């Protein structure tokens, strides 16, 4: 009998969430972001499920892109952080990887490379995130050099990234959108290209909450996996369906008296005579160690709060008020009926981190 900790990955939910992204921005193409092992869901599996629907995939680095090619994924793959060495330019040329350019070194590597094909380049502009991207005053020079190079496809994508789009009424996001729009218009006028400039602004939050940020290309990531990045509930976010349901089972039950302590350090004390269930899951399976007492789990459809410190392979939960609990009962850690964002909040983190920290030990099972 296999250890019961597992993550169910729903194909239908994944496809549904991608359709939501399409429906909210019907005039946009989409780069499905599957970096960090598709936010813990399994990059190859997610790519296989979505490949027939998406226009391209996005990853953080060339190692992630190569993993997809080895697995037979043929769609274009965007390197979101660009190249880390000039040798990677030749690999991208051969493998049909698209690349971000955000600094002078990356630009020089592309311009001096010996390419057999024209590279698809995304030029990132720093409009306020202050992490990656060329400065607004440098955009024209970078764009012109790329556009003039035989190594570069003429349809360069001008792009930026939002710092606070998850805040539903963020003034900084409005400023970023306005600045980006001004940069595009100025660039178009100064270069007199004769064609429109291809653009991309919206990440998941931009797709869900900022329709004015919908461009030629959008970049859905977190929302693909059924979770809203927004700071409040919205009708758009409510359309999403969790792709991962993290499950395990009760492996032991015991009665503890009022005043007795449970788990490492005894940081949970029974305030009444209680029934404690031990569940086969812990931080070695991706469940956050710093989840606090009271973090919800679900047993037989009822909330069973965490009672005691999370250990490597097990947690203990309070099932005193749940009728007819027995060994072998299924426990939902997050997923359907229990959003990962809610669990993450109890662990002083965000759903992004909870999902991307899922280790390989926790088996993924593809369903529906």
Contact call for residues 303 and 296 (beta carbons, < 8 A): yes
Alpha-carbon span 143 to 122, nearest angstrom: 10
Q: Rounded to an integer, what distance in angstroms lies between the CA atom of residue 276 and that of residue 165?
A: 42
Alpha helical stretches, state H, the chain: 11-24, 35-39, 43-50, 62-70, 87-95, 104-111, 139-148, 171-191, 204-209, 340-346, 351-356
Helix (H, G, I), strand (E, B) or coil at 154: coil
35 is catalytic: yes
Residues 6 or more apart whose Cβ sits within 8 Å of residue 319: 250, 253, 275, 276, 277, 299, 304, 325
Query: Catalytic residue among 6, 35, 124, 184, which?
Result: 35
Smallest CA-to-CA distance from 267 within 230, 246, 292 is with 292
Strand pairing of 296-299 and 302-305?
antiparallel
> Of 19, 94, 154, 264, which residue is the catalytic one?
264
Give the side-chain half-sphere CA count within 13 A for 89: 21
Rg (CA), the chain: 24
Query: Residue 214 contacts by C-beta under 8 Å, 6 or more apart in sequence?
Result: 24, 25, 27, 28, 201, 202, 206, 207
Q: Is 264 a catalytic residue?
A: yes
Please state, as a whole number, how many other Cβ atoms lie within 10 Å of the Cβ of residue 332: 20
Catalytically annotated residues? 35, 264
């Amino acid at each position: 009998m296999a250890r019961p900790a597992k993550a169910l990955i729903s194909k239908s939910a994944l496809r549904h969430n991608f359709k939501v992204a399409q429906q909210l921005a019907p005039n946009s193409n989409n780069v499905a972001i599957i970096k960090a092992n598709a936010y813990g869901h399994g990059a190859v599996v997610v790519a296989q499920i979505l490949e027939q629907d998406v226009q391209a995939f996005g990853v953080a680095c060339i190692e992630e892109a190569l993993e997809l090619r080895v697995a037979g994924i043929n769609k274009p793959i965007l390197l979101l952080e660009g190249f880390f060495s000039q040798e990677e330019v030749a690999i991208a040329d051969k493998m049909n990887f698209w690349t971000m350019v955000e600094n002078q070194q990356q630009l020089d590597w592309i311009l001096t490379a010996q390419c057999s094909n024209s590279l698809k380049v995304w030029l990132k502009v720093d409009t306020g995130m202050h992490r990656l991207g060329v400065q607004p005053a440098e955009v024209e020079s970078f764009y012109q050099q790329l556009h003039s190079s035989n190594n570069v496809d003429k349809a360069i994508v001008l792009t930026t990234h939002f710092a606070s789009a998850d805040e539903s009424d963020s003034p900084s996001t409005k400023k970023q959108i306005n600045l980006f729009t001004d940069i595009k218009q100025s660039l178009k006028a100064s270069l007199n290209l004769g064609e429109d400039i291809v653009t991309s602004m919206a990440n998941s939050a931009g797709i869900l909450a900022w329709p004015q940020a919908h461009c030629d290309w959008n970049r859905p990531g977190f929302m693909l996996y059924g979770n809203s990045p927004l700071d409040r509930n919205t009708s758009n976010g409510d359309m999403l369906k969790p792709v991962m349901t993290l499950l395990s089972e009760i492996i032991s039950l015991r009665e503890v008296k009022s005043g007795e302590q449970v788990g490492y350090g005894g940081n949970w004390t029974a305030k009444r005579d209680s029934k404690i269930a031990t569940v086969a899951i812990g931080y070695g399976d991706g469940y956050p160690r710093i989840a606090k007492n009271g973090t919800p789990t679900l047993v037989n459809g009822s909330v069973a709060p965490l009672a005691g410190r999370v250990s490597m392979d097990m947690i203990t939960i309070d099932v005193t008020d749940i009728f007819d609990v027995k060994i072998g009962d299924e426990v939902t850690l997050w997923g359907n009926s229990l959003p990962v964002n809610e669990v993450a909040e109890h662990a002083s983190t965000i759903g992004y981190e909870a999902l991307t920290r899922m280790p390989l030990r926790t088996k993924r099972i593809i369903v529906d």
